[in-house]
């Protein structure tokens, strides 16, 4: 695999050559994984009901030239299902609680303080709000991501768009990749403040356009691609762990990376048998959405052609055309056969039944009751006990999803504690 890629084993390169090796590897990786960006673009269009050109910094706000109101989906089940599921799952606020087993009073006090410390970091970083955003990404694209890092002696959390994360497919076959990369476009002025020693290189760095950007990018010349990469150690005693930050013409930062994890927390709607990235609800519903679109289009054309009554006039009849109008109490003078309004037929009711059937099946796949989506309680459930029982029965459908959502908070707590140790050692 590595023999086919320029820049293989970039983590072993010298600092002067590191950025070249890394960007060559990322370029080859993007070429082989263009299908993932295409799939994410399709899911973004399904959810947003907006035919955007691409997901890059210069494409996400542009629409296809042939796009108009006619192309919009009139019954968007993907967005409806995802918004409902996100509201149900993210209304819970998981937290990490530290308990002792047979510990003395001093150890119990430490556990309580550690619990408060994690709660404080969740509040200080707005982690719950960002987790809801990342979980929405997981429902749309299959995987959501939050990055945890240290800045000015404080722990920070940042929602990361999953298309910025680059992982080799072969290496992540068992969901355990040894290297991970994050691409991000940052303004030159901001980057100069972060790395003042490399001001000249940053100023001279050009905008690295992605493969989907086929037109001029002169309006974003001050935005440059920054790649932050991590490579985990190959073993406990290995020294090949690496953490770098590079631009197209310089290595801005390099250090040995001794941790056994990446500084990311991932959310997934559904797990795949193999591979790192998950399956989203948009992918599960896309077949139903396309069938609904097709059926609604058939209904629309049918109603346009046959739902308006037609006026039948015999060719031999002598009728003044100007008398055929919509005046109240109007008079139509004729000789021969009188004109008659005749309905041409109606839309087959099977088409409407098919749409309703597809719509109900979408709720079954998502595991959401239509009453929940409409914020309506079932008829006959008036007591509090009955409503609680109903909610519990419905919640079982999301048990596996909820567990993965809670596990992400436990992973975040572990990373925050480890980052706090780093802050303490440096200060």
Q: 320 and 357 share a domain?
A: yes
Q: 101 and 138 share a domain?
A: yes
Residue 54, pLDDT score = 81
pLDDT at 4 over 50: no
Dihedral angle computed from the Cα positions of residues 333, 334, 335 and 341, in that order, rounded to the nearest 10 degrees: -150
Residue 215, pLDDT score = 46
The helix (run of H) or strand (run of E) holding residue 425 is helix 399-426
In a domain, 82, yes or no: yes
Residue 76, pLDDT score = 87
Q: 387 and 368 share a domain?
A: yes
Q: 257 and 299 share a domain?
A: no
Q: 235 and 345 share a domain?
A: no
In a domain, 53, yes or no: yes
Q: 20 and 162 share a domain?
A: yes
Q: 11 and 33 share a domain?
A: yes
In a domain, 417, yes or no: no
In a domain, 341, yes or no: yes
Least confident of 99-108, 322-331, 351-360: 322-331
Buried b (16+ CB within 10 A) or exposed e, 205-236: bebbbbeebeeebeebeebbbbbbbbbbbeee
45: left (phi over 0), alpha (psi -120 to 50) or beta: alpha
**Cβ-based neighbours of 291, under 8 Å, separated by 6 or more:** 358
Query: Confidence class of residue 330 from pLDDT cuts 50, 70 and 90?
Result: confident
Residue that is last in its domain, among 283, 300, 320: 283
Q: 291 and 279 share a domain?
A: no
In a domain, 188, yes or no: yes
Residue 161, pLDDT score = 95
Look up the domain containing 167 and give its range: 2-283
Query: Confidence class of residue 149 from pLDDT cuts 50, 70 and 90?
Result: very high
Task: Give the C-alpha separation, 177 to 143, whole Å.
Answer: 15
pLDDT at 375 over 60: no
Helices (H), 13-126: 15-32, 34-48, 77-90, 105-124
In a domain, 143, yes or no: yes
pLDDT tens digits for 93-118?
998 999 988 888 999 999 999 999 99
pLDDT tens digits for 28-84?
999 999 999 999 999 998 998 877 888 877 777 766 555 555 556 578 889 988 998
> What is the count of structural domains for the chain?
2
Q: 276 and 289 share a domain?
A: no
pLDDT tens digits for 174-195?
999 999 999 999 999 999 999 9
Residue that is last in its domain, among 283, 315, 339: 283
Residue 3, pLDDT score = 42
Counting residues of the chain whose pLDDT is more than 90, the rounded percentage is 51
Q: 274 and 395 share a domain?
A: no
pLDDT at 267 over 70: yes
More confident: 386 or 354 = 354
In a domain, 418, yes or no: no
The helix (run of H) or strand (run of E) holding residue 403 is helix 399-426
Q: 119 and 229 share a domain?
A: yes
Do 58 and 213 contact (CB within 8 A), yes or no? yes
In a domain, 221, yes or no: yes
Residue that is last in its domain, among 283, 302, 322: 283
CA-nearest of 268, 263, 267, 303 to 283 is 268
Work out the number of other CB atoms within 10 angstroms of the CB of residue 324: 13
More confident: 9 or 213 = 9
Counting residues of the chain whose pLDDT is more than 70, the rounded percentage is 84
Q: 318 and 258 share a domain?
A: no
Mean pLDDT, residues 247-260: 94
**Cβ-based neighbours of 62, under 8 Å, separated by 6 or more:** 52, 53, 54
């Amino acid at each position: 695999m590595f023999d086919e890629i320029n820049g293989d084993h970039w983590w072993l390169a010298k600092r002067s050559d590191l950025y070249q090796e890394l960007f060559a590897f990322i370029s080859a990786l993007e070429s082989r994984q263009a299908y993932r960006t295409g799939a994410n673009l399709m899911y973004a269009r399904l959810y947003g009901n907006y035919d955007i050109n691409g997901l890059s910094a210069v494409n996400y706000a542009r629409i296809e030239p042939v796009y108009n109101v006619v192309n919009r989906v009139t019954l968007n089940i993907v967005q409806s299902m995802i918004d409902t599921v996100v509201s149900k799952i993210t209304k819970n606020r998981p937290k990490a609680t530290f308990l002792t087993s047979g510990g003395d009073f001093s150890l119990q006090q430490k556990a309580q303080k550690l619990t408060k410390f994690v709660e404080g970091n969740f509040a200080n970083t707005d982690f719950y709000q960002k987790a809801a955003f990342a979980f929405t990404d997981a429902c749309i694209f299959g995987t959501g991501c939050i990055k945890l890092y240290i800045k000015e002696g404080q722990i920070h959390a940042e929602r990361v768009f999953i298309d910025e994360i680059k992982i080799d497919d072969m290496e992540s076959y068992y969901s355990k990749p040894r290297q991970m990369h994050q691409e991000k476009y940052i303004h030159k002025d901001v980057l100069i403040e972060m790395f003042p020693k490399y001001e000249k290189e940053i100023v001279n760095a050009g905008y690295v356009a992605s493969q989907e950007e086929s037109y001029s990018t002169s309006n974003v010349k001050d935005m440059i691609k920054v790649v932050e990469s991590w490579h985990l150690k190959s073993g406990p005693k290995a020294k090949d762990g690496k953490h770098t930050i590079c631009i197209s013409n310089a290595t801005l930062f390099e250090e040995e990376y001794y941790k056994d994890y990446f500084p990311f927390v991932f959310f997934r709607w559904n797990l795949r048998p193999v591979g790192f990235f998950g399956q989203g609800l948009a992918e599960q519903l896309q077949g139903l959405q396309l069938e609904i679109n097709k059926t609604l289009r058939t209904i629309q054309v049918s109603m346009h052609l046959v739902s308006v009554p037609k006026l039948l006039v015999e060719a031999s009849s002598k009728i003044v055309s100007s008398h055929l109008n919509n005046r109240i109490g109007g008079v139509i003078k004729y000789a021969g056969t009188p004109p008659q309004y005749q309905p041409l037929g109606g839309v087959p009711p099977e088409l409407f039944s098919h749409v309703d059937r597809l719509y109900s099946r979408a709720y079954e796949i998502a595991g959401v009751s239509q009453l929940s989506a409409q914020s309506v309680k079932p008829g006959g459930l008036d007591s509090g006990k009955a409503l609680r029982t109903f909610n519990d029965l419905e919640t079982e459908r999301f048990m596996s999803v909820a567990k993965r959502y809670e596990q992400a908070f436990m992973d975040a707590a572990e990373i925050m504690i480890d980052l706090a140790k780093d802050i303490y050692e440096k200060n």
